[in-house]
Every structure is written in C-alpha cells, then in structure tokens.
Amino acid sequence: MSRLVKRGPPSTIVIKLGTSSIVHEETHQPLLSILSAVVETVISLRSHGHKVVLVSSGAIGVGLRTMDIPQRPKSLSKKQALAAIGQGRLIALWDNLFGQFDQRTAQVLLTRGDISDRTRYLNAVNTLNELLSMGVVPIVNENDTISVSEIKFGDNDTLSAITSSMIHADYLFLLTDVDGLYTTNPRKDPSAKKLDVVISVAAIRAQVSTSTLGSSLGTGGMETKLIAAEIATGAGVTTVIASSKQPSVIVDIIDYYTALKSTSVSTSGTASPITPQKLNQVDLDEVAVSLSWPRPPHTVFKPALIPMRDLKAWTSHTLYPAGSVIIDSGAHAVLSRRESGGRLLPVGVLGVRGSFASGQAVRILIHRRTEGVPVEVKELAQMSYSNVAATTPCTPVLEPGPSVTASVTSLVALSRSGSSASLSDDMISDSQTITDDEIPSIEKMDECENWDCEEVGRGLANYNSAQISRVRGLNSARIVQLIGYADTEYVVENITIRVSA
C-alpha cells in the first residue's frame, strides 16, 4: 500500500475490540500480541494526525483470569463482580502498553442510563471531545458493575456505534475474528462469500446468516455488528468490519480510501476528482480495480447520504422508551418522508400504551389493520394525514416547559377526568364545540393495549400519555381546548422512522 499513500485530512476514528480479541477463550490469558499490535496501530494513526477512540471489552474475561474461574458465570451479580475486578486490571494493561510510547490514555465508563439524560449526554460528548483535543486516547467500556437490562447497551458493538455517533467520527472499525461480513459463517461453511460493500444494512439482512453468537466470553456476534453498522452509518459514519488478527489493516484501509478519493476518474473521457458529493455515486472499489490497486481485506458499510441529526440519533439509540404512541398507516407514510421533519400531528394518532411524561422517549407503533379500532377513532384516522399536515401552520421550537414531575402530575389528573365536563366553558369556542364522543374514555384508551402493532420508530413526546390520548385523531386546533394549553401542534417530535428492506 505504500505506493498508494497520500495522506488526507485528519479523521476521527473509533476502534472496537471484542473480548475474544483481548483474552484467550479458554485460558483467559491476555492476548498480548494482538493488544500490542492494536497499540502500535493507534500510535501510527495518531502520528498521521488522526484522533482515535478505543472501545475495549474484556473486563469480565480479565476478571475470570484474576479469580481463576473457568467459565463466564450466569448470575448477574457474579458477572458484575468480575467486571469490577477485571476493569482495573484491563485499563492498567492498556495504560502500560500505551505508556511504552508515552501515549496518554483515559478511562471512560458508560451506561445507557448515563446518557439518557440530554444534559449528561452532552457532558459525555464534551468530555470525549476535550480528551481528543488534548491528544489523549479515550478507552471506552460499558460500566458492567452497575448496568442492568434497562440501561445496558447490550454489547460493545452498539456502544462503539453510539460513541462514534456522539463524536461525529469519520470511521468506525469493528475488529473481529473474521476479515469481513460473510453470507454464512466462513469457519463452518467453505462456500461462504464475503461481501465487500454494503449500501443498506436493512437490504443485506436477507442475504447473510447472523446466527453466530460470538465467543463464550463475549456477548456479540455478527448480528450485533449489523445493528452497530446501522446505527453508525445512519449518523454518517463509514463503518468497517476487519480482522483483529492484523490491526495494522486499519491504516491500510484509511490510506486506500484516502488515495481513491483524491484520484481523478474518467467519465465520458473527462477526468474529474471524486468530490465528497460524488462519493456515494461512485464505486471506489471499481475505480481501484481499474487502476490495479490492491484492496485490503474488509467489508465497508457506506454512510447515509444525509446523516441523522444529533438529537434524532440521541432519541433513537440512547433513550429507553417510557411508553408507545400508536399511529395509522397514513401518518407512517408521511413520517417516512424526510420532509416531514419527524413531527407527528394528533390526527395521525390511534392510541397510546403505557404512562409517560412530556419530554420522554416513546416508541412509534403502527396499527396496520382497522379491526377492533373504536369507530370514531377509525373515521378520524382515515382522514388524509398529508392534507392536514400540509395545512397546519408550523410553530417554532420552544424550550421545554413543565418539568417531568409536573407532566406526570397532569397525566394523573387528566387520566381521572373522563369527559369534557372538566373543561371550562371559555376554553371552547362556539364554532368548535367538543362533544363527549370526541374525548376518548378510559375504556376506549385501554382497547389499544390488545391491538397487534409493529414498532417502526422512536421519538420525543411533547405531551404526556393522557394528554395525547385525549387529542388522538383530532385536529391540532383542539389541543388547547382539551388540555388547557398548546406549546406546539405536534404531539411527538424528533421521530426517526426505521428503514425497512
């Protein structure tokens, strides 16, 4: 690759290393040869001006070795105890190896709960960016000692993807025991084929087998890497699966794409550089083949043409939903279009599940069939959501008003009032009289619990669950009449709709 090298602008790079690449699966001895090679690769990248974050698993594996326990325990408390024992030794091992090159490191332990609050999330982002600006290599791991299912990332593949999204990384490298994404497990199936380029993770799922569960020490497998790639590419991060047995391939891969991006290609006889705007329109690997350039072994997942906004990424991937909002197919069709802005009007709402406060994350569910839907809700849901959305004036984004506590209090109060009798007469104009039939009763609100629904996205609720239930299926002009105020005509915002194959 030396003849290809043409150093481009500095990049921000996240490298994820799994437990099976850090400790031996049976003896639990640290794999010093791989760890040393990773450190040398990071030092090389740093010497080229790149900023590097290392996401390292292995705390439990190191704890097993320290306590001379033969296999990973099943009980949560024992795994958390081993993580507490192993994490200190793991970071000491990394610090010692980086210390040989006088490279400073920092330990960053996170849980999903740590970044579910927007302020704490931004603090974590600022800390990581400050460490990078100081020339430090942050070493990130999940804080397994205090994690429970509700606040766990689940595996460090997901953690690395969220980390890359947080710091707007250019590359995410998922190092594993194979050199790319294969159609089936190459260690068991000799006919397995490697996929060099993936444009859509959703589309590729049907072509590959993701049944591998990873090592006995780890929690991941190829499926978790696809999930991580989906998160990272959605945030605009180029994601790569490569072999942990040869970490130096990271430098080769970056040099490979840097050289190709700076190469002039001939189109209809006219040579022109591959600009950032053309990157997703040009198959760089085809360019490399035409130039007889060797391709380092890896699978690359191309980033989204239009990356997800930071707030949407935070809502979609870091928050634990407090409840659900059920929408009709018309609302789903509109929300699937980027120009919708990810904002939901009450006319598209069929119901809610669970109790949640304004400002909390909610799942967006779609009820595709109309059987069992209350008649008055069905009729309202069949209105043209597109027409309503087009004629509804847009309100400016307001700062959050009532606190979560106040929102929960109003949620309880509203859920106890079953009719319009609780509304003052001056809240209802003569031209827009609200009847009891328009206000969902508690019984009708409970009917949606039995509907067969599918999760299609997530968003942030602007009103609490009881308030959204009251205005479901109605024009947004009714919000102030039914709940007494209207900060915005949208009941849910910052919605991210999942892309289906």
Please write the tens of the pLDDT for every residue from 224-269: 888 889 889 988 999 999 999 999 999 999 988 888 777 644 443 4
* 456 pLDDT above the threshold of 50: yes
Rounded to whole angstroms, the Cα distance separating 238 from 389 reads 34
Please give the pLDDT value at position 67: 92
Mean pLDDT to the nearest integer, 406-430: 37
- 47, pLDDT greater than 90: yes
Return the pLDDT at 267.
40
Residue 107 pairs in a beta bridge with: 139
| pLDDT above 90 for 137 | yes
Going along 126-220, which residue ranges are E strands? 137-142, 171-176, 181-182, 194-195, 197-198
Residue 344 has pLDDT above 90, yes or no: yes
Measured between alpha carbons, how far is 382 from 347 in angstroms, rounded to an integer? 9
d(CA 377, CA 469): 11
Higher pLDDT, 63 or 288: 63
Scanning the structure block, which residue is given the tokens 């969220």? 162
Provide mean pLDDT across the span 286-302.
78
Closest CA to 400 of 478, 493, 318: 493
Instruction: Please check the confidence at residue 377 and state whether its pLDDT lies above 60.
Output: no
343 burial via Cβ count (<10 Å: 0-12, 13-18, 19+): buried
φ, ψ for residue 366 (rounded to 5)?
-115, 135
Residue 423: pLDDT band with limits 50, 70, 90 = very low
- How far apart (Å, rounded) are the C-alpha atoms in residues 101 and 88? 21
Range of lowest pLDDT (86-100, 254-268, 294-308): 254-268
pLDDT at 438 over 70: no
- Provide the pLDDT for residue 357: 82
Extract the runs of DSSP E, i.e. beta strands, from 186-336. Answer: 194-195, 197-198, 238-243, 264-267, 270-273, 299-301, 323-327
Looking up tokens 């001006």 gives: 49
412 has a pLDDT exceeding 60: no
Give the phi and the psi of residue 171 in degrees, each rounded to 5: -135, 145
Nearest to 229 by CA among 260, 245, 208: 208
Q: How many CA atoms lie within 13 A of 286 on its CB side?
A: 8
Mean pLDDT of 55-61: 90
- Give the mean model confidence (pLDDT) for residues 445-457: 73
Residue type, 259: A
Distance (Å, rounded) from C-alpha 6 to C-alpha 3? 8
Average pLDDT for residues 393-419, to the nearest whole number?
Answer: 38
Which of 169 and 422 is assigned the larger pLDDT?
169
Q: What's residue 277's pLDDT?
A: 44
C-alpha to C-alpha distance for 472 and 439, rounded to whole angstroms = 9
pLDDT digits (tens, 9 = 90+) for 386-401: 555 544 433 333 333 3
What is the per-residue pLDDT across 103-135, written as a single tens digit (0 to 9) for each? 999 999 988 777 777 788 889 999 999 999 999
**pLDDT above 70 as % of the chain:** 69
Q: How does residue 2 score in pLDDT terms, banded at 50, 70 and 90?
A: very low
pLDDT at 227 (0 to 100): 84
pLDDT of 318 = 66
Euclidean distance between CA atoms 313 and 262, whole angstroms: 30
DSSP 237-269: -EEEEEETT-TTHHHHHHHHHHHHHTSEEEETT
pLDDT exceeds 90 at position 167: yes
pLDDT band at 500 (very low <50, low <70, confident <90, very high): low
pLDDT computed for residue 6 by the predictor: 56
Q: What is the pLDDT confidence band of residue 443, given thresholds at 50, 70 and 90?
A: very low
Per the CB < 8 A criterion, the answer to whether 358 and 468 are in contact is no
75: confidence class by pLDDT, cuts 50, 70, 90: confident
What letters, b where the CB count within 10 A reaches 16 and e where it falls short, cover 78-115? Answer: ebbbbbbbbbebbbebbbebbeeeebebbbbbbbbbbb
Fill in the amino acid letter for 353: R
172-198 mean pLDDT = 87
Separation of alpha carbons 478 and 472, rounded Å: 10
Sheet holding 197-198, edge to edge: 105-110, 137-142, 51-56, 12-17, 171-176, 238-243, 299-301, 197-198
Gap between the Cα atoms of 42 and 421, Å rounded: 67
Average pLDDT, the chain: 76
Q: What percent of the chain has pLDDT over 90?
A: 32
Q: How confident is the model at residue 469 (pLDDT cuts 50, 70, 90)?
A: very high
Which neighbouring-strand residues pair with 181? 195
Distance between CA atoms of 170 and 239, rounded to whole angstroms?
Answer: 9
What single-letter DSSP state applies at residue 205?
A: G
At 95 the pLDDT is 96
**Cβ pair 29, 124 in contact under 8 A:** no
Least confident of 48-57, 129-138, 356-365: 356-365
Average pLDDT over residues 406-429: 37
- Which whole number is the average pLDDT over 340-357? 89
Report which listed range, 77-91, 307-321, 450-464, is most confident. 77-91
How many angstroms separate the CA atoms of 343 and 128, rounded? 31
Cα distances (angstroms) measured from residue 39 to each of 171, 178, 247, 282, 411:
17, 20, 9, 33, 53
Structure token pair of residue 433: 């009289």
- Using alpha carbons, select from 420, 425, 423 the residue that is nearest to residue 438: 420
Reported as a pLDDT band with limits 50, 70 and 90, residue 9 is confident
